[in-house]
Amino acid sequence: MNWSKPIPWKRATEDEQMAIESVYKHHPIDGTLMLDGTQLNYYYEIYDYTEAAKRRNRLNPAERVKNTDVQVNSEEVIMITKDTAYIDDEGRIVNRTITRPLSSEWDFLNSYIVNIYPDTTCWVNDFPNANNEQYMRLYFNHPSYNEHPVVGVSWEQANAFCAWRTNYLLAGLRGQAKYIQRYRLPTEAEWEFAARGREDNKYPWKDNEETKDDRGCYNANYKPGKGNYTKDGNLISTRVGAYSPNSNGLYDMAGNVAEWTSTAYTESGVLQANDINPDIRYNAAPEDPYALKKKVVRGGSWKDVNAFIRSDARTSEYQNEQRSYIGFRCVRTQVGYNKKGK
């Protein structure tokens, strides 16, 4: 079946119907028809323009050194590291990081295969002593939650979605596609700048200290007190945009669900980064120690007290974890402005 075409739900041929039915399964106990999440895998490629541009990675040895006092070694072997993904002979997904001698521009093309189905069991695994079975069964398929933020997605899945959204956008632009910046996760610095608003606030709203407005209404979905999740009117997440935006026009920059950033987590944070477009990246290989696979999470969530929803509050999570209180948003780089300053 050609999945690049619209799915023929109503007038499918016999082969098309078999293909559609193949991605579903029945629960072995109650017989419920459900998607087979193990089959929902997305393959994508990302070209690493940054690594390709570094002088030490030039294919021509004469271009690697500017210092004329240094003799160029034309026999020097440059080793590069790249990510590659494939399905082995037994049908298993393999994501590997390989190191090999630099040979061409293709060495900077990384490939990934990611299972994209959210972890519906995150609700009971995050809170084993809570009555969350209904969220596990309904959050991802009941219309009451259609406008709630996605949760149960890892950092790896969030990146896969950004790649898919980029490819979906570019497919319809043709010649104009070369001007489009790809969707991605925001850096930690970008996220905080956006959250603080134009007034550089401690919280996304103008009143720096208060989490209520002048009418006594809460400004965000968070945990107002110890064990008092519902005091702000919500037990878990709520629909996106239920609270007022900040001065940048952005919703839910505090509370509701925390959000993945692209930045690798270190306790020293931005002190290690440049002060121009600060960011710290570490593309952890599968064989790396688990401690190196932490990413920065920002914004706080429905389960956090007000100290964790401040614009400067930072936490972390392992890149393959899927939580009931962590989601994400996509960004694209703004390239210049038009004559009207927009």
* pLDDT recorded at residue 213: 64
d(CA 73, CA 290): 38
- Reported as a pLDDT band with limits 50, 70 and 90, residue 279 is confident
* pLDDT recorded at residue 209: 62
| Mean pLDDT value across residues 257-283 | 85
Q: Determine the straight-line distance between the first and last CA of the chain, rounded to whole angstroms.
A: 43
Answer yes or no: is pLDDT of 35 > 70.
Answer: yes
* pLDDT recorded at residue 176: 76
Rounded to two decimals, what is the model's pTM?
0.90
Answer yes or no: is pLDDT of 206 > 60.
Answer: yes
Q: How far is CA 332 from CA 1, 161, 328, in A?
A: 33, 13, 14
Answer yes or no: is pLDDT of 216 > 70.
Answer: no
- DSSP string for 213-247: -TTS-BSSBS--BTTBGGGGS-SS---TT-S---T
Q: Which of 245, 239, 222 is nearest to 148 (CA)?
A: 239
d(CA 73, CA 20): 57
Answer yes or no: is pLDDT of 252 > 60.
Answer: yes
Which one is predicted more confidently, 7 or 50?
50
pLDDT (tens digit per residue) in 65-95: 999 999 989 899 999 999 999 999 998 999 9
- Reported as a pLDDT band with limits 50, 70 and 90, residue 224 is confident
Query: What kind and span of H or E run contains 252?
Result: none
3-class DSSP state of 82: strand
- Reported as a pLDDT band with limits 50, 70 and 90, residue 132 is very high
| Mean pLDDT value across residues 294-322 | 95
Answer yes or no: is pLDDT of 338 > 80.
Answer: no
- Reported as a pLDDT band with limits 50, 70 and 90, residue 179 is confident
- Reported as a pLDDT band with limits 50, 70 and 90, residue 10 is confident
**Beta pairing partners, 82:** 98
- Reported as a pLDDT band with limits 50, 70 and 90, residue 335 is confident
| Residue the block writes with tokens 């997305």 | 42
Answer yes or no: is pLDDT of 253 > 90.
Answer: yes
**Lowest mean pLDDT segment, chosen from 126-140, 221-235, 257-271:** 221-235
Domains of the chain: 22-65+78-117 (no CATH), 122-327 (3.90.1580.10)
Which one is predicted more confidently, 152 or 6?
152
* pLDDT recorded at residue 25: 92
Answer yes or no: is pLDDT of 1 > 80.
Answer: no
In the predicted model, what is the mean pLDDT of the chain?
89
| Mean pLDDT value across residues 284-290 | 90
